[in-house]
Amino acid sequence: RERHLEGLMALAGEPPRACHGCGVSYEVLEELSADGNVRMVVCLKDGVYQVLCPACSASYIPKRVDLVKGTAFGWRVHGK
């Protein structure tokens, strides 16, 4: 439930504490980004909204064709 609420808050503009996939803190991700702007992805994972860093989302999203099928993003990622 906590991850789901944090995902909803991220959609409202509040940064998460950490990536829900790898657990790396938002502060560390901010330090690692070239411009200090952390691009996180909020996605439906395991039935709840979760916030993933670019590396975790890059490995998770391609596995979930069912989530993006028929969208412009789905065409770019999967050609479907």
pLDDT digits (tens, 9 = 90+) for 3-27: 888 887 888 888 888 999 999 999 9
Q: Is the pTM of this model over 0.95?
A: no
Q: Name the phi and psi angles at 16, rounded to 5.
A: -75, 165
Listed in order, strand segments (DSSP E) in 19-74 are 41-45, 48-52
By three-state DSSP, how is residue 13 classified?
coil
Distance of CA 38 to the CA centre of its chain: 11
For residue 4, what is the enclosing H or E element?
Answer: helix 2-11
